[in-house]
A and B are shown apart, each in its own frame.
Chain A
Amino acid sequence: MGLGAYIAVSAALFALGIVAILVRRNVLYVLMGIEMILNAANINFVAFNRFNHAEGSQSNLDGRMFAIFVIILAAAEAAVALAIVLNVFHLFNSVKPAEADLLRE
């Protein structure tokens, strides 16, 4: 299997993530969409690391290391986001982003 298949999976995952962010009414799905986008990025990192270095040269771990960073970042992001969601729920008694429209003010 070539690089294109990986990128196709990654692109699909990214598109699903975007759609989830834009159309889901529950904030938890939005968070999931964000995770999907991050993971789409991870797939790209790993795939390009695997296929995209010069023939015969020493393989490096840059892409894989980035993927691990992103996972860590995603964990941190999830922690912060869930805290925000909790506060939003306290404030609006709802986890629907459509109802939390204080930014309008």
Chain B
Amino acid sequence: MTAESHFLAFDPAQDFKLLFLALALPLVGYVIQLSAGKRLPRQGDWLLTGGLFATASITVLMFAKSLWAAYHGLEFRHHSGDEAGLWFHWFYSSDELANGVANVSAAIFYDPLGAAMLMVVGVVSFCVHLFSIGYMHGTPRYHIFFANISLFTFAMLGLVLSDNLLFLFIFWELMGLMSYLLIGHFSHDPSSGYFHKWATKACKKAFLTTRVGDTCLLVGMVIFFWKFETFRFTELWRLSIEEIARHQSLHPGEYPLWMTVGGLFIFGGTIGKSAQFPLHIWLPDAMAGPTPVSAMIHAATMVAAGVFLLGRCYPMFTPDVLDVIAAVGTITAIFAATIGTTAYDLKAVLAWSTISQLGFMVAAIGLGGVVAGLFHMVTHAFFKACLFLSAGSVIHGCHHEQDMRNMGGVRKHMPITFACMLASTIAIAGIPFFSGFYSKDMIILRAWENILGGKFTGASFFAAVGLPLAAACTAFYMFRMIFMTFSDSYRPGTVESPFAHHGGGHDDHGHDAHGHDAHGREEQGHADHGHADHGHADHGHAAPAHAHAATAHGHDAHGHDAHGHDSHAGHATPHESPLPILVALCILAFLGVFGGHFWLADPLHALKFWEHAHTWFETSVSFQSLYGAQIGDRLAAAVAVDEHAAHQAHTVALCVSLAVASLGILVAWLIYGRGWERSQRIAGRITHAIHAIYEVVKGKYFVDEALGTAIVVDMKRKDEPRYEPDASVIGASVQLANFLGWIDRNVVDATVNLVGRIGMSFGTGSATFDRVVIDGAVNGVGLFTQTFGSLVRLFQSGRVQQYATFAVFGGLALAVWLILL
């Protein structure tokens, strides 16, 4: 069987249409769902989940084709415009300007990275849809929720498939909008109590914060477009390499300043979207959305987009930009990992871990390890989606409790969820044979290669030390989470928490729902609910009154009626989640375990993990397959180190990553693994010893406070408190906006008005001239004629004798004149 006829060979005639179908299905589903979703049976969830299943199947098939090509050493870079003539011409001036200034055409670009990413998006989104069927069942606006996550998926698929920066940006913005709508899903649902108020603010915060980054990206895009007059990635890469070479031939060792500036602006987009320091602030608050949305945002879509962008734009970055990227990524990784160790909210732990892992990916790309960074993005998508959905399952099972202190012992009640979550936790902690190990090890390897291979920069030293530190923290807080949630025995109501009231309306819990944070300065709302002095046991609902709503799907059905709230007075034990949730969890847990390296295919080789495991991702994605042979070789040469250094670095990285993972898990076990009471004692002693540091970390380094973006949910106030713009960055922005508004009104508008007034006076003058001179001339001719006429008329009396008189005297005058002269 030849390569061309094999069923896994890429066929441009057919496969682009399949890809297009995969892209279009969620969009079509969205339109149908939006227009008819409410009237469909089960509010249309089967329709969209089915559509997503088809999309996921196509993406998996296409991914298999890319792997097949990679393992057969074939090039796999496909462009629907060049190969199949499938273009989407948005606007263009003429055909002569095929890549000209006023010509924006898009096509599907499908390379190994796109294939892997598309598969991740398809599969994870399908799992999230499946999960939502179980999780969101019976909540208000159920059909809208499905419509929105479907369009969210569409945006990410489109982003992955675009062949140019402009369309990537369009989908990028669409994703921003969808994240806004989905994080704010509960803001339309007053019965969700605490979440109602939180979501209202969190979605705005997410939208506005990412908008800062998006603006940077737009500026960066324009800078590159201005110089290169194209948005196409392949063109941008080629031109960037040429520009750098041209510049270095004039100034050896230097790089074009404008490319550094443009690259930093593009990285600004990643800072916003991928929640890098200091624009990470929106991500923890994005938990205000439903848990499936968190899984989407944290795993497959949204934050992955920023890293994907870096992967797509890597050849356009100068070394200076890469250093900044590496430094920001490392800072984010350590920063978020330390905060993760102090969080009590189950989802908050995962949110901080996402930020931390994103820091790893970004740092890796900054260190020149594009493959490592993108690999971590892929494996992270699997295990983080699994973690979030497992957390959702736990929260669902624990009656919408999110505070880990009120959990414990869930393992016995939810064994399948526990197994899936444990597998993903091991994966993220970086234990060999689990997917996260391979990618994280590659990142740390990259940092050490830079140092040992003599490509020493400040950023790589920082990363080589900082990233293992963050990895240790990761292992620690993830196992802390596992121990707190699943070990010991169930202990509901240990601390006051606003979450358990979710879905029950306001009246049950009345005034005491807001927590006070540990430093007691102001009500802090999420994640830290300090004291437990309010009685808590009586917040159950008047169950019989709600029982009739158990099967209703209308707007007044409450969040979790469907799974039997009748037994909630007092605290019912957790229960395992329904089948759709478990299926989704198992798929993702499987991928979380084997997504990095499918070692079951060759277990004996896999056991020798001190040898470098050659994963599918490295086979498929390399510099050459990402950016083409020519550019790829050049980029690979820039980061290559000699064999000896590589070998050394490999040993160091392996030891380091194994050591930090075991250390983190060991410490977690010592503190939290030996019973709840003991853990509280030990943790209390430690936090007391490092009190000041603990408070700073627990306060999330007060970034939110510094930026003035802290969300305060006060259940007592009926009206929504606004951001108070005083002495903060947001406040400064508001002042700046006011100032710009003043300028707009008084300078810009004044200029416009002045121009208008000048135009008007000119018009008036012109009209006057027209009236006086032009009309005057015309009228004057008429008037003269008339006057002359009436004068001449006097002679025309009609009297014959008068005429005769004139004739006679005329004749006389003539005669006199003739005779005398």
Contact = CB atoms under 8 A, between A and B. Distances in A.
A101 to B, nearest CB: 3
Q: Is the interface of B mostly helix, strand, loop or mixed?
A: helix
A18 B806 CA distance: 12
Contact of B798 (A18, A22, A104): A104
B804 A22 contact: yes
A60 to B, nearest CB: 29
A97 B800 CA distance: 7
A21 B804 contact: yes
A55 interface: no
B630 interface: no
B801 interface: yes
Interface string A13-28: 0000010011100000
A1 interface: no
Interface string A69-105: 0000000000000000000000000000110111111
B797 A101 contact: yes
Contacts of B804: 21-22
B91 to A, nearest CB: 74
A100 B808 contact: no
Contacts of B803: 103
What class of interface size applies to chain A in its complex with B? 10 to 19
A18 B808 CA distance: 8
Contacts of A104: 796-799
A21 B801 contact: yes
A70 B796 CA distance: 32
B800 A103 contact: yes
A29 to B, nearest CB: 11
B798 A102 contact: yes
B2 interface: no
A101 B801 contact: no
Nearest to B812: A18
A30 B805 CA distance: 13
Contacts of A105: 798
Contacts of B805: 22
A101 B799 contact: yes
B797 A22 contact: no
Interface in B778-800: 796-800
Contacts of A21: 801, 804
Given A18-B808, A22-B808, A98 B796 contact: no
A22 B800 CA distance: 9
Interface string B107-126: 00000000000000000000
Contacts of A103: 796, 798-800, 803
A58 to B, nearest CB: 34
A32 B772 CA distance: 59
A104 B800 CA distance: 10
Interface in B747-801: 796-801
A97 B805 CA distance: 13
Nearest to A102: B798
Contacts of A97: 799-801
A30 B801 contact: yes
Contacts of B801: 21-23, 30, 97-98
Interface string B802-819: 011100100000000000
Contacts of A98: 799, 801
Most chain A CB atoms below 10 A, which of B797, B800, B805: B800
A101 B796 CA distance: 9
A55 to B, nearest CB: 29
B98 to A, nearest CB: 82
Nearest to A25: B801
Contacts of B798: 101-105
Contacts of A22: 801, 804-805, 808
A12 B804 CA distance: 19
Interface in A6-55: 18, 21-23, 30
A105 B796 CA distance: 9
A58 B798 CA distance: 51
Contacts of A30: 801
Contacts of A101: 797-799
A43 to B, nearest CB: 20
Nearest to A30: B801
A67 to B, nearest CB: 23
Interface in B596-613: none
B808 to A, nearest CB: 6
Contacts of A18: 808
A18 B796 CA distance: 21
Interface string B400-429: 000000000000000000000000000000
B211 to A, nearest CB: 87
Interface string B659-672: 00000000000000
A99 to B, nearest CB: 9
Give 3 nearest A-B pairs by CB, closest first.
A104-B798, A101-B798, A103-B798
Interface of A: 18, 21-23, 30, 97-98, 100-105
Given A101-B797, A104-B796, 13 more contacts: A21-B804, A22-B805, A22-B808, A30-B801, A98-B799, A101-B799, A102-B798, A103-B796, A103-B798, A103-B800, A103-B803, A104-B797, A104-B798
12 contacts: A22-B804, A22-B808, A30-B801, A97-B801, A98-B799, A98-B801, A100-B800, A101-B799, A103-B803, A104-B796, A104-B797, A104-B798
